Amino acid sequence: MSASVLPGSGLKAALADGRFAVTAELGPPRGADADALARKAAHLRGWVDAVNVTDNQGARVRMSSLGAAVLAQREGLSPVMQLTCRDRNRMALQADLLAAGALGIPHVLLLTGDHPRVGDHPEAKPVFDLDGVQLTWLARTLRDDGVLMSGAKLTANPKWMIGTVENPFAPPLSLRAERLAKKVAAGAEFVQTQYVFDIGVFAQWMAYLCDMGVTQRCAVLAGVGPIQSLRMLEFLRSEVPGVNVPSEVEDRLRSVPGDRVGEEGMRLCAETIEQLTEIPGVAGVHVMAFGFERGVPEILERAGLAPRGNENVLTVTEGR
């Protein structure tokens, strides 16, 4: 049975209220199966402010992000529709953004996208007519100026909030901070980061952002997620660009029996969230628990974050 999104809910509302925001990943199914998405949504509903609906993540074909975002809304979740430049030219990008606006999608997250050669259709022709920064600028122009790239006027402007992504761990840190500042200048209002396992390095990056005034204009949502197995640990270390897993984290996970790695990974994730709430400028977290949506509520509860809508939910203190 479908639910409805509560008035005043969603990422935009949480940030406006000064609450520590929580978003989570909701990957569309590899098939025309609305029930599969509904089952995932049931685990997240009531615990997160919004869900990221990915766009052929990893260059692997799934249900479209626009269609899945609409289904997520039907399940009572506030979607963040991802849109990549990989598969669309500027005409198709504008068309999808306008459709999202007409369908009431409240947030869009815009990125360049992985090259097709890393996915399940390596022979596909990449588009990349625009890059992520240009797409961010385009989205802001559509929303705020009501003008297409062609110069034609819109009959009605979309109203979504604009997001982007960034990797805090690729050196030099100051350059990554400057890169995010460019995206914010283009129109980004929130950013979700790569996995944070190294709190010290991430805190340094946040200090750069605070000094540049970026956190005053853009909400930073730190990426977190539970490492469920040693196999996943190896995958993150060797296959996912930009993920920095410190030796102490690896040693901790390898020190427990194999059947306890998942539990230790959940405990580590909850502790990381607790530490992130203390870093100036951090506005929330983005939980990436692919295929493990059922574990998200327990992680958040362990971290001291109450269900959404609860009056006791953690509030961002002044200076963050």
Global pTM value: 0.92
How many other C-beta atoms are found inside a 10 Å radius of the C-beta of residue 229?
A: 14
Question: pLDDT per residue over 178-191, tens digit each?
Answer: 999 999 999 999 99
In a domain? residue 47: yes
* Gap between the Cα atoms of 239 and 197, Å rounded: 16
In a domain? residue 148: yes
Structural domains of the chain, count: 1
In a domain? residue 317: no
In a domain? residue 6: no
User: Is the per-residue pLDDT at 210 higher than 50?
Assistant: yes
User: Is the per-residue pLDDT at 319 higher than 70?
Assistant: no
Which DSSP state fits 105?
A: -
Locate 261 and state its tokens. 């790695």
Note down the domain range covering 185.
11-302
- The residue-averaged pLDDT of 43-52 equals 96
| Number of residues assigned to the chain | 320
- The residue-averaged pLDDT of 212-216 equals 96
In a domain? residue 136: yes
- The residue-averaged pLDDT of 122-127 equals 94
In a domain? residue 81: yes
CA angle (290, 291, 294) in 5-degree steps? 105
In a domain? residue 43: yes
Question: pLDDT per residue over 215-226, tens digit each?
Answer: 999 999 999 999
Query: Over the chain, what is the mean pLDDT?
Result: 92
User: Is the per-residue pLDDT at 144 higher than 80?
Assistant: yes
How many other C-beta atoms are found inside a 10 Å radius of the C-beta of residue 171?
A: 9
First-last CA distance in the chain: 39
Q: Per-residue confidence at 308, pLDDT binned at 50, 70, 90?
A: confident
Q: What is the CATH number of the domain that holds 267?
A: 3.20.20.220
In a domain? residue 2: no
Closest alpha carbon to 269 in 305, 318, 234, 241: 305
